[in-house]
């Protein structure tokens, strides 16, 4: 079996579902169930013995030691993090705690466990760290996309905390020999995405005829990847990646935010027309994000060359599936919009 952290979040839940469907191997899922963790995303596994959930924190070393000793996983896939850039601007402490201290604690627990394994198990063990393209900083319009050799230039508290975690993972390999793999992925979208991030926020606001808040001029560029393609890439890297290496994962899908928002509006106009007019009428430019990175773009050729991975979805197929999913899962959205989420909307948007 494998241990996944953060398996009740957006990417984590998709990963657990994808992993069990694709490999049949059991997953021990450790998640603190912060505002972003939602076990309802895993409801289809409720009576499946291949999924075991533990409600706990990655900074809890005794818990980690106990879980590793009892369940003896062959790999750890570390997905848990504080993940929202805007939240990191309003409150960076939680990002340092989970992303830096939490990764450190998990690395130390993994090192102790791995050190005690029998020779064969020790050779096969992997610690897979799931990270982001934001550690590389921001690109100008004509710059080449990020390769794995790009300098680390994080600009937000979130990306700085993720960069710190990447450095810890690298050091635990070089110093202690822990068999690590790191993947740095671009912006994901798809089912179970918490509606604080651009695409799901635009879908749920548009359906409620609320303003669609576009930061600044809306010309910031992101490289969008359908989340199930990210999950498939993690499986490939975990199976065949070279220990100690990092792999960039991206969608070859650079698009300015305003184009993303207009695409979502056009799909909703088609699938759920609003008698009041096109959903694009709700687009509202608001104050920009402080320190807003202008452009991310991933060069994913290493992953294609060495492991044969390419995304299966184009943006056109992936975004259509995503909008359809939100239309078909109004109950999931309604329950996610808990009190904690409504408080966050007031904190982030009232002064804009
Ligand atoms: P998310 O915020 O949706 O989910 C994070 C999960 O981690 C939640 O279930 C939460 O409860 C859990 N968690 C938070 N703190 C924890 C702690 N201290 N102990 C245990 N569990 C804790 O995040 P996401 O968007 O699914 O991102 C997952 C990972 O992928 C992160 O490491 C993020 O940096 C990385 N990533 C995300 C994207 C993206 O576009 N979302 C892109 C590239 C990389
Ligand atoms: O690049 C990978 C990263 O992508 C991940 O590491 C992060 O965990 C993930 O949250 C995401 O970060 P972004 O900041 O790019 O994602 P977000 O959805 O918050 O914003 C996408 C773009 O849309 C960004 O340029 C800011 C803009 N935006 C966002 C929101 C929430 C708006 O214009 N309006 C909004 O209301």
The single residue of 136, 158, 189, 296 carrying the catalytic annotation is 158
Among candidates 137, 287, 299, 296, which has minimal Cα distance to 215?
A: 287
Q: What is the length of the chain?
A: 352
Tens digits of per-residue pLDDT, 105-164? 999 999 999 999 999 999 999 999 999 999 999 999 999 999 999 999 999 999 999 999
Phi-psi region of 277 (alpha: psi -120 to 50; beta: other; left: phi over 0): left
Evaluate if residue 345 carries a pLDDT over 80. Answer: no
Would the pLDDT of 342 be above 80?
no
C-alpha angle with apex 56: 52 to 58, nearest 5 degrees?
110
**Averaged over 202-215, what is the pLDDT?**
98
pLDDT 10s digits, 68-101: 999 999 999 999 999 999 999 999 999 999 999 9
pLDDT, mean of residues 26-49: 95
Give the global pTM: 0.98
List residues near ligand 1 (CB under 6 A).
Answer: 5-6, 8-12, 31-34, 36-37, 57-59, 79-83, 98, 102, 130, 132, 162, 185, 187-188, 194
Tokens coding 125: 């063990």
Q: Can you tell me which residue has the tokens 């509006």?
A: 265
Would you place residue 186 in the very low, low, confident or very high pLDDT band (cuts 50, 70, 90)?
very high
Assess whether 316 carries a catalytic annotation. no
* Contact of 93 with 205, CB cutoff 8 Å: no
At residue 51, the 3 state secondary structure works out as: strand
pLDDT above 80: residue 344: no
User: Looking at the domain 2-190+224-252+295-312, which fold is it?
Assistant: Rossmann fold (3.40.50)
Question: How much distance in Å is there from the Cα of 85 to the middle of ligand 2?
Answer: 7
Mean pLDDT for all residues in the chain: 97
Domain limits, the chain:
2-190+224-252+295-312
Checking if the pLDDT of 339 tops 80, the result is: no
pLDDT band at 347 (very low <50, low <70, confident <90, very high): confident
Q: How many CA atoms lie within 13 A of 3 on its CB side?
A: 32
Q: What is the pLDDT of residue 346?
A: 81
How far apart are the C-alpha atoms of 184 and 20, rounded to whole Å? 23
């Amino acid at each position: 079996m494998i241990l996944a952290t953060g398996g009740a979040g957006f990417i984590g839940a998709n990963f657990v579902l994808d992993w069990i469907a694709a490999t049949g191997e059991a997953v021990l899922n450790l998640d603190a169930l912060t505002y972003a963790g939602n076990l309802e995303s895993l409801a289809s596994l409720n009576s499946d013995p291949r999924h075991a959930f533990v409600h706990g924190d990655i900074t809890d070393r005794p818990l980690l030691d106990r879980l590793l000793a009892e369940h003896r996983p062959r790999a750890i896939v570390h997905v848990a993090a504080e993940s929202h850039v805007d939240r990191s601007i309003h409150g960076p402490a939680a990002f340092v705690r989970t992303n830096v201290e939490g990764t450190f604690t998990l690395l130390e627990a993994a090192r102790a466990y791995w050190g005690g394994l029998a020779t064969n198990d020790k050779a096969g063990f992997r610690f897979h760290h799931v990270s982001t393209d934001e550690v590389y900083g921001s690109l100008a319009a004509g710059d080449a996309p990020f390769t794995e050799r790009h300098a680390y230039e994080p600009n937000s508290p979130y990306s700085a905390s993720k960069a710190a975690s990447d450095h810890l993972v690298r050091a635990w390999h070089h110093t202690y020999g822990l068999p690590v793999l790191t993947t740095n992925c671009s912006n994901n979208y798809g089912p179970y995405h918490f509606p604080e991030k651009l695409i799901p926020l635009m879908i749920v606001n548009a359906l409620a005829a609320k303003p669609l808040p576009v930061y600044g001029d809306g010309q910031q560029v992101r490289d969008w990847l359908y989340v199930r393609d990210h999950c498939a890439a993690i499986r490939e890297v975990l199976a065949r990646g070279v220990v100690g290496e990092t792999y960039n994962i991206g969608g070859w899908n650079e698009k300015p935010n305003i184009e993303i928002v207009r695409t979502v509006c056009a799909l909703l106009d088609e699938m759920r027309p609003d008698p009041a007019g096109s959903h694009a009428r709700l687009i509202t430019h608001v104050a920009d994000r402080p320190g807003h990175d202008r452009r991310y773009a991933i060069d994913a050729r290493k992953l294609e060359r060495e492991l044969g991975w390419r995304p299966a979805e184009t943006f056109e197929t992936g975004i259509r599936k995503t909008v359809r999913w939100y239309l078909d899962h109004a109950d999931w959205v309604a329950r996610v919009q808990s009190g904690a989420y409504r408080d966050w909307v007031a904190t982030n948007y009232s002064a804009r």
